Amino acid sequence: MAKRLAVPVKYDAVVVGAGFTGLYTLYKLRELGLKVVAFEAGNGVGGTWFWNRYPGARVDCQFPTYQYTFSKALFDKWNWSERFPAQEETERYLNFCADELDLRKDIHLNTRVTAAEFDESTERWAIRTDDGKTYDAQFFVPCTGILSSPISPFPGSEKFKGQLFHTARWPKAPVDFTGKRVGVVGVGATGMQVVQTIAPQVGSLKVFIRTANYSIDLNNPKLTDADRESTRKDYAKVVADINKSFGGLGFDVSANGSFHDHTPQQRQAIYEKIWADGTLRFWLGVWFDIIFDEEANREISDFVRNKIRGQINDPETADLLTPDFRFGTRRVPLQNGFYAAFNQDNVEAVGIKDDPIAAITEKGLKLKSGKEYELDILILATGFDAGRTLSQLNVHGRGGVTVKQVWDKDVRTTMGLMLHGFPNMFTPGAPLAPINAFCNVPHCSQHQGEWVAEAVRYMRDNGIKVLEPTKEVEDAWVQTHDNIVNMSLFPKTNTWYMGDNIEGKKRRLLAWLGGNPDYEQRCREVREKGFPGFATA
Ligand code: NAP
């Protein structure tokens, strides 16, 4: 780490990131009376909703779940306009929260944390920022999110003469697609939203597809005053339903029993009914067996494949867009117009499984076979190195060991909230918690922010200056996590959930699969029992 300034600025806690998690954690720590500062690399608050402003970016958790619920006053004051709000509205909401909770005075925008080091002699953190300042804090709280390090997998981007964008670094100024030859690489949730949004504007569109994805047909009505009012009246039930649901989305995943409780005809009727809801209920609210039982998975996979094929006119295009892996073992995007776009004459699906993209060229994209596609605009919807931002932060724990050194071998945490070897570092949003893979982020942000605040309160009440999970505690968490995952179908799929999109990354499901209520109960027990097995000083 570079030499520290002579007089570091002293805080109780330094938070990194001003998305849903960073904002709430800042709020909770400040509520405890701590002196807290938050650093955000962007020039606005919003995290994911600040950076991912690509055309069509939209929430996939249905109203009224995708918002903070801890304050009825905050809940009542904001008027959502759609069941699935767009990026702009969600970013505006987070700005509203920052104002309502008076958070801005403690947030430094345009400030990137470049290093953090635990000083074993003082047992405090030294945090360095890119404006050359150093901060001294008892607690270091990176809330850097799981999907904040975009990947651009192709060489040659500097040669391209047209406009090149990664969806996660989209400019604020509008991009004009009129009459342009546009290429989109990737058909995850992001690529689908981009394609369906720009297809009506482009001159021509080539969509480069390596793996076809499943998706659910989105049902996104505008909300009325009556919708908003009845939700406000039902606030207590809304919150209770979110709290007891598997993914914080309010769906009761056991409501329909098991796949095996029903005849094939009954199951088809259940699929159709839930499909019509147009939400992630079709993923996390049909029955649990979907992600644990091959037979249950086969049937629902076929059901969705039929829904997809039914929307595409050309059989060859339908082949390219029909997935062949197990439904639900990747995040399931919601679409409204993605498949229909391929029925336009100027939109083409380009299968690249057997002829992969070799490079970006001056004119566009070149495949391994040498075939070149000329483009005016190239959009990379190629995803993220999930969880990587924390390991890129240059965080040094005991003995100077970095998170990167630990995670390069094996992504591991204790409850996704702390790391052995990194005392007094809290990591809401880190892997091995439900995170955004299986959780509605505002809900888990609140739960984790509260847990961190309770941990700090416990330390203060008990005269503890340093808290750290032991290796044994962490090993046990990782083992329990792996045991649950190994019962599921996830390891059988190639997915960013398992780290497969990054060459050399050790395979491990990044998110806790036991569901939120189970996860939260485990976290609660650790706190209530006084952090058994944790080292304290
Ligand atoms: P993603 O799911 O990882 O999808 C990336 C896409 O790029 C895939 O189609 C992938 O193909 C393709 N790709 C990557 N490298 C490639 C290469 N070298 N050659 C060809 N194709 C390549 O990323 P994402 O769509 O940005 O979504 C990531 C996550 O963000 C989602 O799973 C979801 O959790 C979240 N998200 C949510 C929303 C929402 O609705 N709220 C919207 C967007 C994103 P392969 O599949 O073959 O690897």
Taking the C-alpha atoms of residue 202 and residue 223, their distance in angstroms, rounded to an integer, is: 30
pLDDT at 7 over 80: no
| 497 Cα nearest atom in ligand 1 | 32
Query: From ligand 1's centre to the CA of 34, what distance in Å?
Result: 39
Does residue 56's CB lie within 6 angstroms of at least one atom of ligand 1? no
pTM of the predicted model, to two decimals? 0.96
Distance of CA 278 to the CA centre of its chain: 20
pLDDT at 171 over 60: yes
Q: What are phi and psi of 325, to 5 degrees?
A: -100, -175
Does residue 187's CB lie within 6 angstroms of at least one atom of ligand 1? yes
Query: In this predicted model, what pLDDT tens digit does every residue of 479-508 receive, in sequence order?
Result: 999 999 999 999 999 999 999 999 999 999
Contact at 8 Å (CB) between 24 and 68?
yes
Taking the C-alpha atoms of residue 330 and residue 307, their distance in angstroms, rounded to an integer, is: 18
Choosing from 167, 210, 249 the residue with most ligand 1 atoms within 8 A of its CB, the one to mutate for a pocket test is 210
Does residue 436's CB lie within 6 angstroms of at least one atom of ligand 1? yes
| 331 Cα nearest atom in ligand 1 | 32
Does residue 185's CB lie within 6 angstroms of at least one atom of ligand 1? yes
Burial of 182 (0-12, 13-18, 19+ CB in 10 A): buried
* Residue whose token pair is 């839930």: 274
Query: In this predicted model, what pLDDT tens digit does every residue of 407-445 receive, in sequence order?
Result: 999 999 999 999 999 999 999 999 999 998 999 999 999
pLDDT at 262 over 90: yes
- Tell me what pLDDT residue 6 has: 52
Does residue 8's CB lie within 6 angstroms of at least one atom of ligand 1? no
Query: In this predicted model, what pLDDT tens digit does every residue of 179-238 receive, in sequence order?
Result: 999 999 999 999 999 999 999 999 999 999 999 999 999 999 999 999 999 999 999 999
pLDDT at 5 over 80: no
Does residue 357's CB lie within 6 angstroms of at least one atom of ligand 1? yes
DSSP 502-524: STTPPP--SB--S-HHHHHHHHH
Does residue 496's CB lie within 6 angstroms of at least one atom of ligand 1? yes
pLDDT at 3 over 60: no
- Tell me what pLDDT residue 63 has: 98
Q: What is the DSSP letter of 106?
A: G
- Tell me what pLDDT residue 406 has: 96
Query: From ligand 1's centre to the CA of 524, what distance in Å?
Result: 33
Cis bond leading into 174, ω under 30°?
no
Contact at 8 Å (CB) between 15 and 410?
no
pLDDT at 2 over 50: no
Mean of the per-residue pLDDT values for the chain? 96
Query: From ligand 1's centre to the CA of 382, what distance in Å?
Result: 5
Does residue 54's CB lie within 6 angstroms of at least one atom of ligand 1? no
Query: In this predicted model, what pLDDT tens digit does every residue of 333-362 receive, in sequence order?
Result: 999 999 999 999 999 999 999 999 999 999
Distance of CA 165 to the CA centre of its chain: 20
